[in-house]
């Protein structure tokens, strides 16, 4: 059995599946040699890889030379872009692309200067260059596959596996296109030189130049070039294959030449085979030997609407519109301009798009050549598309899934193996544009794959970041531990003791602060809740206790005034009965208010006697305050009082001043009879007896009410008399003035009535009278202790009785519960008396 190489030497061929035989129509453009077109004034050079694998090496306003690189990059698949002529960069912007979608792509706009000046070119000898240098020159020249795929040639020339067979593709099976045909006819020697460079790089066992049998002139030209070349004749040959579309496809041609099928998802290099186009071989020899970059290619201009059909050297970046104008393009209404052939090409929506490295044909057919697109009809499931498919796919199933946008299912039917040859669309009786559906599905799958790839890369970056942060954290902790261990090891015993002592001091300070806070809270609570404080406490504490007592008394006075409000009318009426003069209603009301105030004051005096239990040092302090008020004032001033206490004391003084003013007004209106004096004296001399009589034998409500009111009024009047006596004669606080005020209240009242004082003076006098009344009360206590004489018997008796009560209270204090019960009983009885008085009225 012959080996593959032996079969190749004998020219044995294999059949490929599928395929069609459309009209060739190549004679329209292959009858003349390749020529050049005049240079346009404007070039649009796409730079789509900028931002991904490359960066711009020029900027707007720069003057560039022909062949100068416009981009820089270092990626494995990166290909530089070169200036097609000399001129000025006028813009770097988005421009419509040479694609069926015409989506914009970044482009460099060059305004030609007309000089067409080359940049510096460095010719080389193949023998002087290493393989890596040759590959680098091919890469820097920007050479890509010229058959239409535009895959980077330096990648294919540097395979990972050993290459046994190199196929030079000169089939050019697409109808109308004759660029490769004319290139092989006109530049066969240059193509053979390029093939020799490929042989130098890959060192294959065989090189096959494949040409269809409809190009006999090209086959002869290449065979003659082989004879003239330096390549051994036993390793290179021209193989003519039958004309059938698409025999020029990479996988289809490999199957025809070798009988091997490239697996799905694999590349020919895995089978030891590499394929290059004849145009690529020509570009390689120019790049390696002459140093020229790929800035132009042969393009076929064909179709009945072109005035000068043929093949022309066209610069990369020349716009389609400018190129067609050079060949006398005469469009029809609705004229199509197709890039590529009628089978695999696409119609342009905009002619202001550039010629690319893979652009091999511009077809301008008339409506007679290519009929307008017919309306799509329903699939009749004839199966002709499956018979014509050269990739052995199922176009019908692919169409259903692509139309339903079930792209995953379409991919499961090997959609990626479709070469978009158009055989299925060509044979479809329903005029379904199957290739268009497949292209859309491929684009969607490509976008999905790109998104997944980006997501996977983002996930990997995130995981790497987390690992880096964890490693940094571990390193910091380890470093901290090492530093702590090092400090511990270097620390002396004295240093350790010092640290321990410092920690102990901190703990003790915290405990001391907590105790001080607790003590301050306890002290504040004791001062607020317990008004009676030890006598030997500091002056500030005494002042606080005094202020608290005054607040309590003021509160009790307010409560008593509210409860006695109903009694005032009865007191006023009783007082009027015993008075010598009739008092009008207004004076009666004033007298009632005065009586209420006096009753409240008396009640406060009784309550304070019951609650306060000062010790002996308190009496001494009080005596010292009366005997030497200036010293007392000095001591008070010496002890600072905070703002709150000062405000409370001011409020208490203001309330007492108001009471004193009312007392002055009542002194002018009240004139009780002798019976009232007797009742008052009895009430003062024996308060306990009065209480007992109330508890044991209830008296008639009205009489009892009147008697109580009179007693309270007279008691208050006696207190006022003491205050006025102290005011008029401060040097003798307990003298005959007080007795005179008690024995002859009418005279005092007359004097008060004779000289009315305005409100302000009355308030000032009341404040003074109140202060002196307080002194008089203290003087009465001292009088009892020192046995000093007081002129009035009533005053002596009242002071003695009050002192007895105070002493009794001091010796035998009553608990809070009993005091509250007694106060409640007294309040109930007073309310009962008031209700009875109202009913009688």
Q: Per residue in 325-343, pLDDT tens?
A: 999 998 888 889 999 999 9
User: Residue 279 pLDDT > 50, yes or no?
Assistant: yes
Closest among 737, 743, 716 to 779, alpha carbons compared: 737
Q: Residues 812-831: what's their mean pLDDT?
A: 66
Bridge partners (DSSP) of residue 50 are 54
Question: Around 665, how many Cα atoms within 13 Å sit in the side-chain half-sphere?
Answer: 24
Bridge partners (DSSP) of residue 236 are 207
Q: What is the pLDDT of residue 543?
A: 74
CB-CB neighbours of 548 under 10 Å: 19
Query: Which of 36-40, 222-226, 559-563, 724-728 is predicted least confidently?
Result: 724-728
Q: What is the pLDDT of residue 316?
A: 95
- The Cα–Cα gap between 576 and 574 comes to 5
Delineate the domains of the chain, giving CATH numbers in brackets: 4-363 (3.40.50.11540), 596-816 (no CATH)
- Are the beta carbons of 110 and 117 closer than 8 angstroms? no
CB-CB neighbours of 189 under 10 Å: 15
Q: Per residue in 481-533, pLDDT tens?
A: 999 888 878 776 666 677 778 888 898 888 888 877 766 655 555 544 444 43
- Are the beta carbons of 774 and 629 closer than 8 angstroms? no
Which DSSP symbol is given to 697? S
Q: What is the pLDDT of residue 738?
A: 34
- For the record, the structure tokens of 158 come out as 């540097």
Q: What is the pLDDT of residue 455?
A: 94
Q: What is the pLDDT of residue 8?
A: 85
Q: What is the pLDDT of residue 547?
A: 75
- For the record, the structure tokens of 98 come out as 């040479």
Which DSSP symbol is given to 376? P
- Are the beta carbons of 591 and 575 closer than 8 angstroms? yes
- Are the beta carbons of 835 and 566 closer than 8 angstroms? yes
- The Cα–Cα gap between 230 and 734 comes to 154
- Are the beta carbons of 8 and 159 closer than 8 angstroms? no
Which range of 472-476, 486-490, 796-800 scores highest in mean pLDDT? It is 472-476
- Predicted confidence band of residue 606 (pLDDT cuts 50, 70, 90): low
Parallel, antiparallel or unpaired: strands 104-112 and 71-73: unpaired
Question: Around 128, how many Cα atoms within 13 Å sit in the side-chain half-sphere?
Answer: 6
User: Residue 38 pLDDT > 60, yes or no?
Assistant: yes
- The Cα–Cα gap between 312 and 299 comes to 5
Q: How many helices (H) and strands (E) does the chain have?
A: 29, 16
Bridge partners (DSSP) of residue 245 are 20
Q: Is 556 helix (H, G, I), strand (E, B) or coil?
A: helix
Contacts of 352 (CB under 8 A, 6+ apart): 44, 96, 319, 320, 321
User: Residue 97 pLDDT > 70, yes or no?
Assistant: yes
**Token pair 């040097």 in the structure block, residue:** 731
Q: pTM of the entire structure?
A: 0.58
- For the record, the structure tokens of 60 come out as 């707007």
Contacts of 27 (CB under 8 A, 6+ apart): none
- Predicted confidence band of residue 356 (pLDDT cuts 50, 70, 90): very high
- Predicted confidence band of residue 685 (pLDDT cuts 50, 70, 90): very low
- Predicted confidence band of residue 354 (pLDDT cuts 50, 70, 90): very high
Question: Would you put residue 199 in left (φ > 0), alpha (ψ -120 to 50) or beta?
Answer: alpha
Q: What is the pLDDT of residue 503?
A: 83
Q: Name all contacts of 651-656 with Cβ < 8 Å and 24+ positions apart.
A: 651/554, 652/550, 652/551, 652/554, 653/767, 653/770, 655/554, 655/557, 656/766, 656/767, 656/770
Q: Residues 15-23: what's their mean pLDDT?
A: 92
Q: Residues 223-240: what's their mean pLDDT?
A: 92
What's the sign of the alpha-carbon dihedral 556, 561, 564, 570? positive
Which range of 386-400, 563-577, 602-616 scores highest in mean pLDDT? It is 386-400
Which DSSP symbol is given to 352? -
Answer with the residue of higher pLDDT: 671 or 330: 330
Q: What is the pLDDT of residue 71?
A: 93
Q: What is the pLDDT of residue 661?
A: 60
Q: Residues 802-824: what's their mean pLDDT?
A: 52
Q: What is the pLDDT of residue 319?
A: 96
- Predicted confidence band of residue 540 (pLDDT cuts 50, 70, 90): low
Percent of the chain predicted with pLDDT > 90: 48
- For the record, the structure tokens of 267 come out as 């590349």
The mean predicted confidence, pLDDT, of the chain is 76
Q: Residues 614-636: what's their mean pLDDT?
A: 38
């Amino acid at each position: 059995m012959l080996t593959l190489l032996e079969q190749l030497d004998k020219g044995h061929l294999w059949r490929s599946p599928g395929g069609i035989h459309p009209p060739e129509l190549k004679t329209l453009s292959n009858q003349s040699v390749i020529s050049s077109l005049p240079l346009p004034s404007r070039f649009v050079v796409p730079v789509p890889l900028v931002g991904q694998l490359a960066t711009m090496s020029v900027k707007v306003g720069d003057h560039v030379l022909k062949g100068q690189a416009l981009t820089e990059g270092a990626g494995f698949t990166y290909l530089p872009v070169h200036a097609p002529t000399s001129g000025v960069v006028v813009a770097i912007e988005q421009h419509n692309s040479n694609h069926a979608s015409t989506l914009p792509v970044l482009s460099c706009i060059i305004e030609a200067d007309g000089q067409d000046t080359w940049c510096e070119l460095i010719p080389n000898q193949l023998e002087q260059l290493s393989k890596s240098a040759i590959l680098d020159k091919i890469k820097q020249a920007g050479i890509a596959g010229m058959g239409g795929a535009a895959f980077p040639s330096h990648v294919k020339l540097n395979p990972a596996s050993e290459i046994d067979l190199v196929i030079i593709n000169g089939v050019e099976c697409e109808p109308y296109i004759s660029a490769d045909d004319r290139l092989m006819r006109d530049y066969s020697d240059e193509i053979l030189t390029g093939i020799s460079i490929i042989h130098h790089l890959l060192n294959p066992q065989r090189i096959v130049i494949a040409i269809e049998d409809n190009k006999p002139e090209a086959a002869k030209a290449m065979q003659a070039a082989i004879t003239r070349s330096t390549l051994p004749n036993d390793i290179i040959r021209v193989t003519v294959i039958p004309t059938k579309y698409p025999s020029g496809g990479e996988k289809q041609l490999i199957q025809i030449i070798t009988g091997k099928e490239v697996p799905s998802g694999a590349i020919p290099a895995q089978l030891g085979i590499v394929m290059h186009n004849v145009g690529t071989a020509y570009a390689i020899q120019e790049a390696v030997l002459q140093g020229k970059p790929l800035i132009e290619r042969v393009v076929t201009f064909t179709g009945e609407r072109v005035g000068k059909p043929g093949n022309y050297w066209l610069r990369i970046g020349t716009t389609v519109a400018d190129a067609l104008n050079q060949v006398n393009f005469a469009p029809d209404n609705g004229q199509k301009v197709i890039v590529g052939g009628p089978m695999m090409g696409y119609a342009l929506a905009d002619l202001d798009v550039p010629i690319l490295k893979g652009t091999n044909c511009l077809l301008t057919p008339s409506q007679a050549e290519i009929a307008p697109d017919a309306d799509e009809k329903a699939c009749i499931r004839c199966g002709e598309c499956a018979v014509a498919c050269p990739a052995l796919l199922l176009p019908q199933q692919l169409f259903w899934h692509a139309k339903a946008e079930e792209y995953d299912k379409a991919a499961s039917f090997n959609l990626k193996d479709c070469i978009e040859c158009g055989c299925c669309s060509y044979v479809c009786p329903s005029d379904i544009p199957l290739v268009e559906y497949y292209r859309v599905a491929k684009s969607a799958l490509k976008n999905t794959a790109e998104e997944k790839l980006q997501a996977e890369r983002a996930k990997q970056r995130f995981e790497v970041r987390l690992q880096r942060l964890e490693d940094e954290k571990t390193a910091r902790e380890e470093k901290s531990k090492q530093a702590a261990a090092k400090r511990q090891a270097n620390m002396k015993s004295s240093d350790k003791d010092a640290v321990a002592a410092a920690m102990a001091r901190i703990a003790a300070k915290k405990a001391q602060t907590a105790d001080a806070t607790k003590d301050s809270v306890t002290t504040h609570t004791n001062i607020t809740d317990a008004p009676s404080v030890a006598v030997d406490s500091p002056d500030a504490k005494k002042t606080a206790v005094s202020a608290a007592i005054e607040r309590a008394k003021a509160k009790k006075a307010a409560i008593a005034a509210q409860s006695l409000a109903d009694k005032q009318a009865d007191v006023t009426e009783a007082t009027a009965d015993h008075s010598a003069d009739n008092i009008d209603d207004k004076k009666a009301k004033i007298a009632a208010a005065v009586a209420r105030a006096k009753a409240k004051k008396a009640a406060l005096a009784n309550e304070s006697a019951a609650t306060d239990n000062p010790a002996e040092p308190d009496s001494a302090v009080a005596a010292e305050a009366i005997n030497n008020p200036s010293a007392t004032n000095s001591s008070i001033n010496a002890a600072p009082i905070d703002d709150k206490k000062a405000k409370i004391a001011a409020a208490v003084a203001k309330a007492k001043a108001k009471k004193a003013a009312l007392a002055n007004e009542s002194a002018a209106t009240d004139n009780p009879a002798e019976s009232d004096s007797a009742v008052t004296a009895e009430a003062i001399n024996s308060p306990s007896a009065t209480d007992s009589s109330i508890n044991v034998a209830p008296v008639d409500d009205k009489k009892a009410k009147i008697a109580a009111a009179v007693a309270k009024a007279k008691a208050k009047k006696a207190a006022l008399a003491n205050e006025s006596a102290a005011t008029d004669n401060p040097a003798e606080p307990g003298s005959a003035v007080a007795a005179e005020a008690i024995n002859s209240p009418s005279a005092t009242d007359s004097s008060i009535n004779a000289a009315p004082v305005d409100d302000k003076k009355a308030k000032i006098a009341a404040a003074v009278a109140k202060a002196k009344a307080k002194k008089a009360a203290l003087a009465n206590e001292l009088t009892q202790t020192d046995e000093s004489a007081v002129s009035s018997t009533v005053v002596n008796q009242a002071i003695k009785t009050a002192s007895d009560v105070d002493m009794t209270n001091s010796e035998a204090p009553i608990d809070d519960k009993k005091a509250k019960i007694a106060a409640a009983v007294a309040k109930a009885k007073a309310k009962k008396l008031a209700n009875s008085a109202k009913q009688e009225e």
